[in-house]
Amino acid sequence: MSIWDFFPDTLEKGEYKFNEKNFLDGYCDSNICDTDLAKINGGCLYLFNKFFGTSQLFKSVANSNINIVEYIMIWLTYMLNLKNQVGNKTNPKFFYETTIDNDKYKNYIPDVTEYKNYKELIDKKTYFLDMDRNIISKFYEAFKLLCEMYAEFDDNTQYCANCSKNANNFVNKYREMNENSDITNNSSYKQLLSTLSKDYNNFMNKYNNNQYLKSSPLPTIEKTENSAHKIVQSSEDTSSSSSVTNKLFTVLSIFGAIAFFLGISYKVNNMELKNITFKYYFNYTYVNVNKKIVCFLPFYISIHYLDFGNDLKNNK
């Protein structure tokens, strides 16, 4: 199951809907997400809390891959744009001015020098606020395909029912965006496209290097003159990346289940967030949390044995 099973990326009768009762209530005022704005705000705060909520998380994630913020913003912007725009301001800009520009996003995180709070992270990616709806939809579609590939890959059985289909769709979507001058002529969009391509390549390399899957390799993203970021990797980099990825897949193969954005796996005992383990496929950083090794991966959080509603309701 995925985040979309709990918080669909479609509207029901013109409104957002949680399929899980009380989902994310702990991140809403008065512990209840009773409005569309509250639901989106709860989801956004949840993501930032999980990746940047403590100085230890903040430093590890930011030092490893600050572009995690881009993935949060892809989700946030797409969800906001499901609603019709009212007035001259885009929905993301309205959300920024009325919700992000308040105390919860400005709360100081002790012992962090790079960024003081969530708002400063978001302010590095403000180009999302005015991004064309059609363009953000294209990025979102590619992002979701990438999420599904990471979530569906079973390292125990080396099985991924839809990986080939999703990979082909992702590559086609990438090519389409790479040929769109509105994207390739914009430095911010080019960087975002580069991030997606790198993360696809990391998954593709892991998949294609598996001895059971070599007969049906995933498609590559060709290097072209107009490419947002040419995918050139030295043998040393490939070896290093492969080594880390192999270790992570082996260690974390026993975890999985409910996917929530690209890459974190939780093992939860007795309904408490203990023995937390994170899958990090893209950029690998290890920190010690509760005497357990934690690997950070931008997005697609997989949770094993977790009652989503109860856990999130108890988190503030």
Our CA dihedral for 285, 72, 163, 244, rounded to 10 degrees, sits at -10
State the pLDDT at residue 155: 66
**pLDDT given at position 205:** 87
Instruction: Say if residues 231 and 174 touch (Cβ distance below 8 Å).
Output: no
Per-residue confidence (pLDDT) for residue 293, from 0 to 100: 34
Mean pLDDT across the chain:
72
Q: What are phi and psi of 99, to 5 degrees?
A: -125, -50
Tell me what pLDDT residue 7 has: 82
Distances (CA, A) of 32 to 23, 47, 137, 194, 223: 9, 17, 29, 38, 48
The predicted structure's pLDDT at residue 75: 92
Distance, CA of 271 to CA of 305 (rounded, Å):
8
pLDDT score for 227 = 45
Structure tokens belonging to residue 11: 């509207």
**This prediction's pTM:** 0.73
pLDDT at 112: 83
Asked if 208 and 218 count as a contact pair (C-beta separation under 8 A), the reply is yes
Higher pLDDT, 265 or 145: 145
Closest by CA position to 128, among listed 178, 169, 67: 67
Mode of pairing for the β-strands spanning 292-295 and 286-289: antiparallel
Higher pLDDT, 241 or 284: 241
Provide mean pLDDT across the span 45-52.
Answer: 83
Mean pLDDT of 39-65: 80
Spatial CA neighbour of 164 closest among 197, 108, 207, 193? 207
Over residues 221-229, mean pLDDT:
54
